[in-house]
Amino acid sequence: MSTATAEAPAATKLSQLDQLKKFTTVVADTGDFETMREFQPQDATTNPSLILQAATKPAYAYILDKVLADRKGSGLTGTAQVEDVIDHLLVGFGLEILKIVPGRVSTETDARLSFDTEGTIAKGRHLIALYEAAGISRDRILIKIASTWEGIRAAEVLEKEGIHCNLTLLFSLAQAVACAEAGAQLISPFVGRIYDWFKAAMKRDYTGAEDPGVESVTSIFNYYKKFGHKTEVMGASFRNTSQIVELAGCDLLTISPDLLAKLAASDEPLTRKLDASAAQTADIQRLVLDEKTFRYLLNDDAMATEKTAEGIRKFAADIVKLEQFITGKV
């Protein structure tokens, strides 16, 4: 009689996405609901570009149709009516997303308010009021605001009211420090756009830890952990999985559907690269900021100045396109 025993099945290797989730909160950078269901992120982020793409797809027509029906009797006309529909549309998408993700959704303010502190505060309060009217706690919402001096001041006021903010279009340590000192809940440094600028300016490619976008987020993360800032760091705008792998251990990373799929399809080893405990012993100088210093440091950083301005212009252009689309519907 044979004494051979069946071999134990080989252990299933974890995908890079599952490995990443051990160190970092994964966020879906999309307005597509099916992607969220597939990859099961904790949170989701949206912006005017993503909502514009989603709102024009037949699969999501029901959200716009419901908003148009609900707001038909608002009594508003012209631009006020269009703005009202867009605000409710943004929240409508957010409400659907919150049925899928267990955590938070980020909803962006109008980029044309990026230099208007009072206007940004008013918009943030209004969006939160719409969510709360729908029965959603403000703890599940992040109001996205551009990391201008005016935007950061608006976030400071909103945070004191318990309205949590995601400071976006962030490209420099000066912006990050100002956000933390204002008590912002979260920042979104744009890894890929920093990489794009340096690749074009220096006429060379970058990989691994030397990627300027990776270096920027690493320095911000280490600064925050060194000086005990509670603001969460969420790397954003990735161009490849290498950038994501190099930032494993960051508080959060918001990742597009195509890169989520690539991470899910790979079982290559992924290890923690950013470590809060190690950062506390790093040799880092504290940055002392006031408005004049902030504006000078931002101006002195050509990449950060250009990419912040470009980002505001592009998001503003997509809001205009969304307005035109809604105007055709109302």
User: How far, in Å, CA of 136 to CA of 92, rounded?
Assistant: 12
Percent of the chain's residues with pLDDT above 90: 89
Burial 223-257 (b: 16+ CB within 10 A, else e): bbbbeebebbbbbbbbbebebbbbbbbbbbbbbbb
| Of 207, 187, 211, residue with least CA distance to 198 | 211
pLDDT at 9: 52
Taking only the tens place, the pLDDT of each residue in 103-161 is 999 999 999 999 999 999 999 999 999 999 999 999 999 999 999 999 999 999 999 99
Q: What is the pLDDT of residues 301-329, one digit of tens each?
A: 999 999 999 999 999 999 999 999 999 99
Catalytic residues: 144
Residue with tokens 């955590």: 103
Average pLDDT across the chain, whole number = 94
> Mean pLDDT over residues 38-44, rounded?
94
- 80, burial (CB in 10 Å: exposed 0-12, middle 13-18, buried 19+): exposed
Considering the domain 25-327, what is its CATH architecture? Alpha-Beta Barrel (3.20)
pLDDT digits (tens, 9 = 90+) for 190-207: 999 999 999 999 999 999
Rounded to two decimals, the pTM is 0.92
Q: Which residue is associated with the tokens 């980020």?
A: 106
Per-residue pLDDT, 11: 59
Confidence of residue 51 (pLDDT cuts 50, 70, 90): confident
Q: At what angle do helices 61-70 and 78-98 cross, to 10 degrees?
A: 130
Q: Spell out the domain ranges in the chain.
A: 25-327
> 4-29: per-residue pLDDT in tens?
455 545 557 999 999 999 999 999 99
